[in-house]
Structure formats: C-alpha cells, structure tokens
Amino acid sequence: MPPPPPPPSPDPSDDPTYIDLDLWAKERNLQGSRYPYILHALDATAAALSLWNAFLSPGVRRGIAGGLGVDETHARALVAFWAGCHDIGKLIREFQEQIPVDLSSYPREQPPGDRSGHSFVTHQWLTSALPRFGYPGEDEYVADLVAQLLGGHHGVYPDPLDEYTTHRFAEGPWSEQRERATLLVREAAGSPEPPERLKAAIAPLVCGLVILADWLVSQEHFLPAQLKTPPADGSRPALLAHFHASLPAVTRLVDDAGLRPLTTSPASFVESFPSIDTPNGLQSSLARHLPDLCSDGGLVLITAPPGEGKTEAALHAADLLGAATGHHGRFLALPTMATADQMYGRLREYALRRADVRAPLALLHSMAWLNPEYAPTDEELSEPDGLAPTTWLMKSKRGLLASWSTGTIDQALMAALPARHNAVRMLGLSGKVVIVDEVHAVDPYMQMLLERLLHWLGVYGVPVVLLSATLHHSVANALVKAYVSGSKGKVKRSAPPFVERIAYPGWLHVHPATGEVTANPEPFTTTERHPLKADLVPVPLQDGRPDREQALRELLGPLVAEGGCAAVICTTVAEAQQTRDLLAEWFSGMDPAPELFLLHSRFPQEQRTSITAELTHRLGRKGAAENVRPERAVIVATQVIEQSLDLDLDLLITDLAPIGLLLQRAGRCWRHEHLGIVTRPTWANEPRMAVLVPREEQSRGHLPKSWDYIYTASLLMRTHSLLARRGDRPIRVPEDVQPLVDDLYDDASLIEDVDADIKRIGEELALRTHGRNAVIPTARDLHADLSPLTRSDLPIGEHFLATRFGADSVRVLCCYRDPHGGLWLDAGLTRRLPEVGADGRMDGDDLRAVMARTIPMRATHDTEPPLAEANRVPKGWEDDYHLHDLVLLVHPVDADGRAGEALLGDRRLFLHPDNGLEYRT
C-alpha cells in the first residue's frame, strides 16, 4: 500500500503575521537583487537600539526620555520602533512597481503620492495608523508628531495633515502588509507601549537618530552581506531570528563609522595641562569655583585678553560641565577655516593626552579634507592613534556626529537654519559641550543665528562655553538671555538684564534652570602686561585712498635698521596687495632685507595654509625656542590675522577699525612677553599699536571709501574720537579694555555725525531682522508642527541659507591655457588640468590638487549660471560634488611662457605668485 501523500505546505497568506519578502526597499548597486522591505525595517530598528547605547550621551538619553515622559529603557524601545517604521511608505504599488516585480496579488488603490514620495506616504499612513496602535491623537498630537518626524527622515519635514489632505487608505493586502510589518518591528524593538506625550522640541533629536540609523544600514557594503544569510521565509519566527542574528553586524556598523564616544576621566587643571606649572588667576579661579556651580550644566562666559590661556580654561570648564551633565562630546567653534585648522592641532594634542577611550576627532569646514594632518594621503598614513576620522564621518553632513570635533562656527549655526538635515546637526551638537571662541567676531546677522542656536542648546541641556577678548555687555546679555530662554523655558520681556557689566578679565556661570548668574566669586590676579601705546598716525588720502608710504617708512625704519618683527594690517585685500608691493620695492637691494609676508583670503587654499603655518610656527611660541623667529620680518595682512593666530610682534601697524577689533589685533603685539621667550630689538621698548587715520583736515566725513565699505562709518569715527581723547595715555591691559569696548556704543559724547549713527543703527537692525526671518522658530513657537524647522518663509532655496551675511559664496580655480588650447593647473605648464575617469570620478590626488588651488570669492552676476563658456568647468566635472560649482579663471600663456589676465565678465583678474588673486583695472 503506497504511503499517504505529504500534507500540503501551509499557504503563507493564511498566516496573519506573514510578510511578503518580495516587497523591497533597496535595489541600487545590488546587481539585480532586491533587499526586502522588512529586512531594512528590522536593520533600522537594530541600528537605533545600538545607537542609543553606543552613540547617545547619557544627557541626551535623559533628555529624550524626559520629553516622552517615560524611563530610558522605554524611550530606547520607542525610538527603535519608530526607526523601523521610517520607510513604511514604500509599501505602496507606486513605489514597488519602479522595478519589475510580481504585484498580481496586490490590487491597485488610489495612490497617496507620487513614486518619489515614500516619505510623504509614511507620514500619511502613520498619521491614521498609529492611533489604532494606541497612540494618543487629537489634543496630545503624539501620533501626528511621530508620523511627521518619520516623514522627515529625508531631511525635510512634511506639512501637517488636515481633513483635506489626509489620505484614506483602503483595507486589503497593502494595508495588511503595512500593519504586519509595523507589528513585527514593534515586537523586535521590545513591544513598547505608546508614550502619553511627545514634546515637539524633542522630535528633531529623534528624527536625527532615525536618519542616522537609516544611513548606517543603507550602506552598499552592508546589504549584500545581509543577503548572503536571508531569513528562511517571511514568517514571524524566521524574521525575528534573522533580526537577532543581525544585531552584531549592525553594531559593527556603528563601530566602523566611528560613532563611539571619546571619553576622559576627571582631572585637575594641572593634570590636564602638565606643561602649565602654575595656572594663572583666570584658570585657577575656574578650576576652584566652577565645580560647585555646574552640577546642572549651564553656560560659562570667559572674557580675557589674547594670550591669557582662555582655550585651556575653556577645555577644563568643558570637562567639568560634561562630567556633571553626561555630555561626553566636544565641539569647538572658530571664526575661520585657518583658526579651525590651528585649533584642530591643539585639540588633538589634548585628546591624545586626556582620552581614556579614543574615538575619531573631526575637523569641520569645506576644505578640511585638504588638511594633511587631518586627512593624510595614502603615502602619508602613519601609525593609527585612534583619533583619525573614518571615511564614513568625512562624508557630507556627518562630521558633527563625531564625538569630538572642531570647525568653523558655520557648522553649528547651520543647525539653526531651516536647511535639509538640520536635525542631524542638532543631534550631533546635543551630546556635546559646545565651545564658541572669538564670540565677539559675529556681526548682527550672525549674532541672531547664534542666539537661536543657543536657545536650542538650552532646550537640550547642552552646556556651553563662550570665549571673547572684546565683548560688549549688551551682546553678552543677549546671548545669555537666548540660552536661558531655552533652558528655563521662558524669559519675561520685563526681566532685568542677566549681564549688566562684564568683569574683565573674568568669567560668569549661568544656571540653566533658574537663570541665576554667578560672576567669578572672588577677584583674581591677572598676567602682568606692559601698557599698550596706541597712537594715531595721520596719512594723506589720494583720490579717496590712504597713502601709507611715508608713514610706513617712518614706522618701519628702526626695524629695517636694527631688526624685529612687525605687521601691517590693511582693510581690504587690494590695499594689502598694494602695500606689499610698496614694501617690496623699498626692501629691494637691502642687505639684509626684511622678510616680507602677505596673508589674506584671496590666495589659493594650499598657499594660504602654507603661509599661515609658517607664520604661526616662526612667530609663535615655538619660534623663539627653536631659533626660527625671523631677525627682520614684516607681515602685511587683512583682518584674517586678528583672530586666534598665535603670533608675537614687536610692532603693530593697522588701519583704523572699531575699537574692539583694534584691541584684538593688539593681542598679537608682545603676546608672549610674560613668558620671557622673545628678545626685543632696542627700539621696541614698549608694545605699540600705530593706528593709521586720515589727516585731520581730511578726516571729517572723508573716510576712505574702502574702509566705509568694510566697517560702519560711525564706529570708525567713534573709535577715532575714543583714541584721540586719550592723548598720550597708554591703554592698560586688562584694566582699560572693557571700558573702551563698552564706551564705543554707550558714550553719547562720541557722536560726531548723528546721521551716520542713525544709519548704523538702521543697518544693524536690518541685519538682525534678516537673521530673525532666516532662523528656525523657538521651541515655544514650534507647537505641534515640525515643518517650520525645514521650511523658510523667504522665497529662497537652501543654497542661499548663509550663516554669514554677504559672505564669499563661490570658489574660483585659476588655470592656464597654452597656445595650443591645452589647460594646465600651473603657470609653468607642468601639470595638466585633470580629467575624470571612466567611472565619472576624479582620482583622489588630482582632486586634492585641484581643490587646493581654489580661492573663495564673493558671488556676483558673473559667477551665476549660465557662466560664460571660458569660465565653465570641463566636461565631466559638472557631475562631481566638489567640482561642479567651480568657476574657472583661465590665464592665457603665450609662446614665451608669459601668463596673461583672466576674464570674468567685464573684470580682468590675475593670479600673482606673491600677491594672490589681483583685480586689475
């Protein structure tokens, strides 16, 4: 008798939990394979679970849990569940049929959105589905906010739904698959109960974590590896088994990306800085008193002269604040790329010395990848020290996710603008102590952005340290008020000022919950400094331009004769170039001739970096000790020299500028005198700042046009009056610094031109208004709608959301055309303009060579598309992220090897080997 036939295999459709593995989420670069939707959802869930433990600082975990009204274990499960739902909108026919797939068992339904809008469908479906899973709706808005934040996982939050825009999803196979997937992901995450609340302000952090989880598990190398060990089928047991088996692989993604924290142990100031035998008064005061004040974090403002060790004080304050609040990360914000590069080296040394567990340390600005110390080429790779950046972190928008980082202040301010993926930036900042150096350098527009950023850092309990050498008390009060408005929740307009005066040098601490301000509890001694001789040196104006020649010959004569180091700071690049030419002609034929340096922003990147590195080495602290300090040297520079560059000069000559900037520049004069490491020439018997001003008969209302273009005329006139009325009295540092900074704005007797003052006030108000219109809303104004965080009411695109009003916004590349039409990178015609390869990419060394030769320049109508043919990048470059926006400045080279001028619209430009990019008339 034949054996009975085997029982038929169960029909998967009869299993109420079965999920169709043919429904896909990823297919790009999978060589024809498809990555099932449910696997991607489970991967994202696993990544969120891992990130919660491995990436988030304890302070952030507490903040998210508090915003949800649950404990941290519950919050972790909720965030993981939501991360697993982020792509649920892909389970619609319009998305699935983008590639050939059998959808015969799935009927057509009214489409909720177009093919590219799966994030919008996620928002649509979850808005109606989450209440069915027990999520509070209506007045609590929990379901709406979760749906909206997940709909924003591509970086832009969708608009909220109403009865006219909510799509009604039909019952059937599609809805069944979505619900089954959602239930399975929820189970994998730990079956968390819905929270009773979700504070809207916490939603961006959750969204940032969801985006991060999605980015990690969408990497091209990860998906094929996962497909090698697929689940047995789409049943619940098989999928959950696959999920648990995948957890170690997902955790490795977190490690490989470099997202683990860099941690330090508590240490005294002397232990943190063993090279400082005796901390100065500022450092000792912070180390002694701040621990008793900062148990809840808060904001610390440090004001002191240049060279007073503010950076070391800030790093120690950050250690104390971070340990107290569970924020193990650090971000140091600097005003320029050059100062960020210099700070990277200092922070790296500190991290090597202090770290218990090392992790990547990021340098963040657009040209950071050209810094050989940060991103060495393969030939330059050295022994790993645990601080090198990972390839993953060096990609766009990811650098702030590194545990420790430094960069330009723009990198942080972008979080306060309604730009795509600002949630990722905010997430990166939320786990750190944020240090902002040179805070006085922000203009009214940037100040508005910084105030809004500080508000949100206060919301998230992020400790902040602000550093300044010359800060007006009203600016300090505005920044403190902004922070407290976030940390405390509300500040009455009628409330008295938080900061009425600034102790200089000194520090203050602001309690985040109460807003109580504690100034340094007791006076402390400061570094003894020689009084600064600040004298006004009249120069004639020729056709509205300053004629510096005679003044420079008189001021630099002793240096030429006996030796020494001086700087001449000019207001514009063109004036700096002209001044260098003037001095070069004077010095020619001398033996010995002074070394002559020029530093400004219109050099090719690699040349500017090289000049900056040489100057900071030879005229910095190590220069004298290593016997490389120049015997005779003159540096001609623009304002780039005044911020965070460690230079010691015997004499400073500068154009008239607002008093705060003059005092900042004066910080380069006799900077290291208290260290006793520099031998001064006999003529330099006191620190001196010679301020070039128009002659008396020309000064009234006749400032050079170029100076009035860069600085507000009323501030220049006020500064002139402020210094003139001091006569021969030297400026005592630090005693006279803060009164001078405050008097510039507060002293009504300085007004010489009422119309000029009114114009200044109007311009500052306009800049603040522009900033106020550009920033994201406050947490109190957010209500239950996240879309304003990525939507601007201004009719501009993200490309124009700038952190600096009127900033340079294009990069130009100077190249050379030989008589036969060939294009070269250099005037000597030794390196051809590189081409892209067959894969559409440029070789790494070639790309470095190109970008290292680029120069920032202010955008004009000549740099906007469509460019003139001669200014367009070569064919193939337009598809490269780094290259497509470049503007070429093509210099013709004749048969004798002479380079001519490049054309850009009606302008003629020339890249001079010593002067940088010149505008020719």
Q: What is the pLDDT of residues 51-109, one digit of tens each?
A: 999 999 999 999 999 999 999 999 999 999 999 999 999 999 989 998 888 888 898 87
For residue 14, the model assigns a pLDDT of 66
Residue-wise pLDDT tens digits, 242-277: 999 999 999 999 999 999 999 999 999 999 999 998
| 342-343-348 Cα angle (round to 5) | 110
Residue the block writes with tokens 């009869």: 14
Residue 911 phi, psi dihedral angles, 5° rounding: -90, 100
Mean pLDDT of 120-136: 92
As a whole number, the mean pLDDT across the chain is 91
Spatial contact of 872 and 888, defined as CB atoms under 8 Å apart: yes
Which one, of 474, 523, 379, 513, lies nearest residue 848 by Cα?
379
Radius of gyration for the chain, computed over Cα atoms and rounded to the nearest angstrom: 31
Output the DSSP codes for 372-434: TTTS--GGG-----S-SPPTTTTSTT-GGGSSEEEEEHHHHHGGGS--TTHHHHHHHHHTEEE
Distance CA 581, CA 405 (A): 39
Tally Cβ neighbours within 10 Å of residue 496.
7
pTM score, whole prediction: 0.93
β-bridge mates for residue 431, sequence order: none
Q: Say if residue 512 is preceded by a cis peptide, omega within 30 of 0.
A: no
Mean pLDDT of 870-893: 90
Q: Which residues contact 679 (CB under 8 A, 6 or more apart)?
A: 624
For residue 4, the model assigns a pLDDT of 59
Q: Which of 526-530, 593-597, 837-841 has the lowest mean pLDDT?
A: 837-841
Distance CA 416, CA 627 (A): 46
DSSP 678: -
β-bridge mates for residue 815, sequence order: 890
Spatial contact of 327 and 321, defined as CB atoms under 8 Å apart: yes
Task: Copy the structure tokens of residue 779.
Answer: 């947490």
Q: Which residues of 847-868 are buried (b: 16+ CB within 10 A; e: fewer)?
A: bbbbbebbbbbeeeeebeeebe
In the structure, what pLDDT confidence band is assigned to residue 17 with cuts at 50, 70 and 90? confident
Task: Copy the structure tokens of residue 574.
Answer: 């063109």
Mean pLDDT of 570-575: 96
Neighbour-count burial of 784, counting CB atoms closer than 10 A to its CB (0-12 exposed, 13-18 middle, 19+ buried): middle
- Virtual torsion, Cα 886, 891, 893, 894, nearest 10 deg: 140
- Virtual torsion, Cα 635, 909, 801, 397, nearest 10 deg: -70
Neighbour-count burial of 764, counting CB atoms closer than 10 A to its CB (0-12 exposed, 13-18 middle, 19+ buried): middle
Distance CA 237, CA 501 (A): 67
